[in-house]
A = this chain, B = another copy of it.
Amino acid sequence: MNKTKQDIRKDQILDAALSVLVQKGYERSRMDDVVQESQLSKGAIYWYYKSKKEMYLDLINFWVLRYSVTLNHIVEEDAPPSQQLKDLFKYFIDQNESDPQPFVALTEFWSMAQKDPDFRKKLQKVYTHFLELIEEIIYRGVHSGEFKKVNGRITALSIMVNIESINWFTLFEAHGVSVTEYMETITDFILAGLLKKHEEKIT
């Protein structure tokens, strides 16, 4: 797991790429911006990536990999599904608070996905995997009797969408509602819809 020189360079490039992407978006981001931000040269960057597009596609890999470690950990931990969901929400709230850049970048990738099939396919894969994770939690909850018998796929979709709504706060004025406050309310809201009521549990 120790990084080679090449991995370090790629990190260096992708760090710069993310920063530029968030500031300017895909189209307006210049390879020369990445050159400057990364303190490397154009030649160096094109040594590691054959095109602007390849570089940004790899940026998705980079972040998926980074997040998936914790995500898998949450799913595999030995906790009641309701707690797992809470952890999931909390993880994204914390991540967004400590560094919203990847979230902002996601908006840009959405926009890219609309135009470019390669970006679409890549994002599709990311989402499919993420949805499967959530669905897994839901299934366990339903199976163990903690959750109502809901449609796992639709519920997972809904949860995912609500997590993504974190982004709304990065961009717009919410008139006095904080992200944390909002997300906590949403978490309760979703869990209220999922958890069996006490009477039902007994029967």
Q: Which residues of A approach B to under 8 Å, CB–CB?
A: 22-28, 104, 107-108, 110-111, 113-115, 120, 123-124, 127-128, 131, 151, 153-154, 157-158, 161-162, 165, 168, 171-177, 181-182, 185-186, 189, 192-193
Nearest CB to that of A135 among chain B residues? B175
Which residues of chain B are near A24, meaning CB under 8 Å?
Answer: 115
Check if A174 sits within 8 Å of B189, measured CB to CB. no
Min CB gap A123→B, angstroms: 7
**How many copies of this chain?**
2
Min CB gap A31→B, angstroms: 15
Check if A154 sits within 8 Å of B110, measured CB to CB. no
Check if B25 sits within 8 Å of A114, measured CB to CB. yes
Min CB gap A156→B, angstroms: 10
Which residues of chain B are near A162, meaning CB under 8 Å?
Answer: 158, 161-162
CA distance A193 to B158 in the complex (A): 14
Nearest CB to that of A27 among chain B residues? B27
Check if B108 sits within 8 Å of A114, measured CB to CB. yes
Check if A161 sits within 8 Å of B161, measured CB to CB. yes
Which residues of chain B are near A111, meaning CB under 8 Å?
Answer: 25, 107-108, 110-111
Which residues of chain B are near A107, meaning CB under 8 Å?
Answer: 107, 110-111, 114
Given contacts A104-B114, A111-B25, contact A193 B182 (CB under 8 A): no
Which residues of chain B are near A189, meaning CB under 8 Å?
Answer: 158, 193
Which residues of chain B are near A157, meaning CB under 8 Å?
Answer: 165, 168, 174, 177, 182
CA distance A173 to B104 in the complex (A): 22
The 9 residue pairs across chains A and B that have the minimum distance between CB atoms? A27-B27, A111-B111, A161-B165, A154-B185, A25-B115, A189-B193, A124-B172, A107-B110, A153-B177
CA distance A151 to B158 in the complex (A): 20
